[in-house]
Structure 1
């Protein structure tokens, strides 16, 4: 992928920003970038984005689950405007949300503690019949009906990662913002409250006509991943530069402080020590990764050092091997101690 190991040159560019020796992170970076991608870092007003393979530094990627911090940022903006309460039952929004159980709140949805399953029930079938677009056979009312039906009071308060929950939250935010209860309504609300004010017009739900980094083809299909009515769980597109700006806005307080409010619910996976609205936490790092059908992403923030790191890489859903290598690489760049020792792919199961 690299001519005469340009990864060493890329490492030096990143070291100039992070002011730290990144040689221990090279094995993880090599693994993450083996099919091409970009790495970005920002700190103290300086930033760098470096590319690997044939991927340009300003290439647009599908952000996959790195969409979820954007959805949480929209929730925070609506809370500050008084249109939403983090801990109020979602049913208080009325309309199509009036019959949701009282334990389903915006905070619970944003922290995967609302007692919802990972996906609507029909995805057990559409994962195979509609591999690139497993939620595309549903509309927003069907997604909301599935969430109401399968919300578990017994599971409420426990961690259970849920694309369904994040997608329902995005639909609720569209409603709270006065938009249609749809993926498009979510996109308009996000532009008005988050990406517009931050100067990120390129972040959106529609892939650009030019500049999109083609996802890696898999055995079951090729092209970008569809999220249908659950676009708020993983449907955004953007660049590494966009993610650095978004991450820096958190550290500068431009998106409030809700994202710092860490919970430690039961059933938290061992590679996490907390979860906050839109984010996981490990050590001093707030982060999120994403896996689309042919793209993998990660974004990490370190409030103590003011560091933001992002990776956007080509690579399909792995059928074998380590799923968490991109997240591990981001953590190794952001703060090596977050991995609990010298960074290695095997130390970071997902």
Structure 2
């Protein structure tokens, strides 16, 4: 007997939602999902979520850097509440943020243009000595001290992707929301202002006792979840495909605010990007973000013109060799099926 192709079985469900031919995306999806995962699409009130390779459709994954759009959504909510201003230096928040350079603003941190390096300096070592938890030896004061020390006025305004920057932003958002300056404080603020109001309360910093999709082991790790320490706002959330689709839809219907529409083209932007918005990358009318944990990978993308959202959550983490962007590429090719330029499948 021939084994049924799970992606061919899912094809009709995805096409019914996206309204176009998903066959061009199947080779990339098959490669991304070779160890199993979940693919989902939503559009106009219709949703399709399909588990592949024995992974349940409601499996919980590490969201890794897909956390960053949630952090940006929290910033947007606090701006709307009058607790924060996009262009105001974090130093104006006072307390532990006093003394930070004036070019460290919420917008600059959310768009990776704050003149900060990708990681705290110690991560050059802990990436190998603490592979599963490279930031775990730090606390919030140490993260802020790192930002204070390594912020470059010369680099401010130039795009440099920075976990340190978004992690520091999340700590500032906790403070602005009246919470303690910690990952836990960020989590409470996120629940109050974002995940609760948007109807995705299952997204959070603590993995569930059951339902977590076990990450794959690597040469440097044992397959446990990835720790982000005080920089949890850059990559520490957990969630399901259905929750990510709902979060994406909240951007399209306005419930998540309009911050994501504020797109800039800073110098240093990689050539495959057309712009950066708070929490998002932009290319060809698509807003997206990907994430690479130690044993899982994620992607979330939406297209305002078509009203479609897609997500991809897969087992198999950071590659030691080769390109990192295969999961994002698969999600973007799938989203292209919602384009009015792609004909429906026959």
TM-score of the pair, normalised by structure 2: 0.96
Moved more, 329-338 or 98-107: 329-338
The 2-side partners of 1:160 and 1:133 are apart by 22
Residue 258 in 1 paired to residue 263 in 2? no
The 2-side partners of 1:214 and 1:49 are apart by 19
State the match for 2:97 in structure 1: 97
Is the contact made by 2:18 and 2:337 (CA closer than 8 Å) also made in structure 1? no
- Size of the alignment, in residue pairs? 338
State the match for 2:232 in structure 1: 231
Deviations 1:120-155 (A, max 9, x none): 000011011100000000000000000010000011
1:1-350 correspondence to structure 2 within 5 Å: 3-221=3-221, 222-335=223-336
Structure 2: 5+ residue runs without aligned partners?
Answer: none
The 2-side partners of 1:312 and 1:4 are apart by 21
Say which SS state the counterpart of residue 215 (structure 2) adopts: coil
TM-score of the pair, normalised by structure 1: 0.95
- CA offset at residue 316 of structure 1? 2.0
Say which SS state the counterpart of residue 335 (structure 1) adopts: helix
Is the contact made by 1:289 and 1:326 (CA closer than 8 Å) also made in structure 2? yes
Deviations 1:187-216 (A, max 9, x none): 000000000111212110000000000001
Is the contact made by 2:15 and 2:337 (CA closer than 8 Å) also made in structure 1? no
Deviations 1:199-255 (A, max 9, x none): 212110000000000001111112100000000000000000000110000000001
The 2-side partners of 1:236 and 1:165 are apart by 17
The 2-side partners of 1:3 and 1:117 are apart by 48
Is the contact made by 2:20 and 2:337 (CA closer than 8 Å) also made in structure 1? no
- CA offset at residue 4 of structure 1? 1.9
Deviations 1:88-133 (A, max 9, x none): 1111111111111111100000000000000000001101110000
The 2-side partners of 1:102 and 1:305 are apart by 39
The 1-side partners of 2:64 and 2:310 are apart by 16
The 2-side partners of 1:12 and 1:289 are apart by 25
Structure 1: 5+ residue runs without aligned partners?
Answer: 342-350
